[in-house]
Structures are given as C-alpha cells and as structure tokens.
Amino acid sequence: MARRLKPFVEREATWAVALAALGFVSMYATLPAATLLGYRSLRRQRGGDGSEPAIGMLAFGIMLLSFLLAYPAMRVIVIAASKPEGWAPRAFLGTLIVLAAAIVGLATVAVRMHPERWIARRCLLAGIGVAIAVVFTQAMVLVLGGLPAWSFVS
C-alpha cells in the first residue's frame, strides 16, 4: 500500500506550526523560518485540502505566544548587551542571528525535499535540533549565571 504524499503547501504549514511552537525554547531562532513558511502557506492558492491558510494563521498565533514567553529572558540579554562590558550577550545575539539563518535554510530545504528521502530529512531535522539546543544552552548560561542583578530591574 502506497503512502499518501502530503502536498507541498501542507508540508509548509505543518513545518510553520512546529517551528513556531519551538520559538520559546529556541529564543526566537526558529521564528524567522516559521514566519517565512507560514506566509508561504497563506499565499499559495493551489494544492492541499484548503486548510493550509488556517494552519498558517495558527502558526502566527503560536509565534506570538512564543515571542511573549521568551520576551523577559531576551530583554535581559539585550539590556546586558547594551552595556560596554557586555561581550557575552553580544556574542549570543550574533550566534542567534547566524543560527536563525541556518534554521531558515535547513527548514526550507526540508520542506522542498521529497518525503521519500527520509535519511536526508532526518539529518536536516537533527541539524535544526542541534541549533535549537545550542541557542537554548547559551541563553540559559547567560540568564541563570552570568548576568548582573541590575538587568532584572524593570
């Protein structure tokens, strides 16, 4: 029995929701990719069963929730980066930008890849997982251990 291949737009919408849900854990690293894929799923008019625009809007709602959940930690990091002695937060923000671009590339390739190339897709998924783990670990080291107390005052 043959497996049904999901249409391209359906894969984009599914990936957009998954990456949006990981936005809090990845400290915004997956949100650019989720935004791009969610926008594409809203703009495409053909393919799929018609539920993709709704899934794309769901991805945008989850992105907003992820943004709000990670905002306090990211605010502390940005405040610490604005101080003259804050080289570690600046390095984190630079790493975040580079890894966000890498996640956009990996997610785009994973969506466009044929579903039967499962080994390559698993490798791409592992790459996204490693990028998320690196960003999360760096953020927790900064927030839990290295930032001074003045940055927590509102």
- Interval 1-40: pLDDT, tens: 556 667 778 888 999 999 999 999 999 999 999 999 999 9
What is the pTM (predicted TM-score) of this model? 0.87
Of 60, 69, 71, 53, the closest CA to residue 31 belongs to 60
pLDDT of 136:
92
Provide CB contacts within 8 A for 107, sequence distance 6+: 15, 19, 30, 33, 36, 37, 124, 128
Domain range summary for the chain, segments of one domain joined by +? 8-152
Rg (CA), the chain: 18
Give residue 81's pLDDT. Answer: 86
Cα dist. 32→1, 16, 22, 103 in Å?
37, 10, 12, 8
